[in-house]
Homo-oligomer: A and B are copies of this chain.
């Protein structure tokens, strides 16, 4: 029957099922961490059974890995808005990136927090695979920031003494720490203050004495 065929066609969608599991994992682990989230919870949240789960993923860790990678892709896509316009002044690109970060603190009902920071804080010492995946994401972000800093330096103050890569790690650390402290103190405003100070710090790098 046509109805039956249509129904089953929509229900059997392995890519969507897989993604549903990833989405559920991100939602739950962002709240409860890795060890605090059980496979049963994930299955329930994703509307799937354990059998289905282990068809798509070898184990819980490999799902977390996929979730971190997905988180990284989503994040990069959002940050890309800052650097995709290559005609824009690199310093303006940096400010655009800080705008995007500040935007993350303004979504109503969603607290600004990072899957990479959470997974890494919890699992860096016990899961080499997760640690390495998180390192990859952090490094990617830093590389992009360093490129903009480097271009801005070349354009605005080539004789400045800072190392773009070091400054990029500095900014990344500040960003991760801001989300951590902001969550702990339940203050998105503090995150924004930090970003504002970061802004003037970056500007200061290019000011001629």
Query: Which A residues fall within an 8 A CB radius of B?
Result: 30-36, 111, 116-118, 120-126, 131, 134-135, 138-139, 162, 166-167, 169-170, 172-178, 180-186, 190, 193-194, 197-198, 201, 204
Contacts and interface: CB of A to CB of B under 8 A. Distances in A.
A12 to B, nearest CB: 35
Given A111-B125, A169-B190, 6 more contacts: A33-B123, A34-B36, A116-B184, A118-B121, A169-B181, A180-B180
A173 B189 CA distance: 13
List the number of copies, as a whole number. Answer: 2
SS of A interface (majority): helix
12 contacts: A32-B125, A33-B123, A34-B35, A121-B183, A125-B183, A169-B181, A170-B197, A173-B194, A176-B180, A177-B177, A177-B180, A201-B201
Given A125-B32, A166-B197, A167-B197, A181 B173 contact: yes
B169 A194 contact: yes
A131 B116 CA distance: 20
A183 B32 contact: no
Nearest to A178: B173
Nearest to A204: B204
A195 to B, nearest CB: 10
Nearest to A130: B184
A53 B36 CA distance: 22
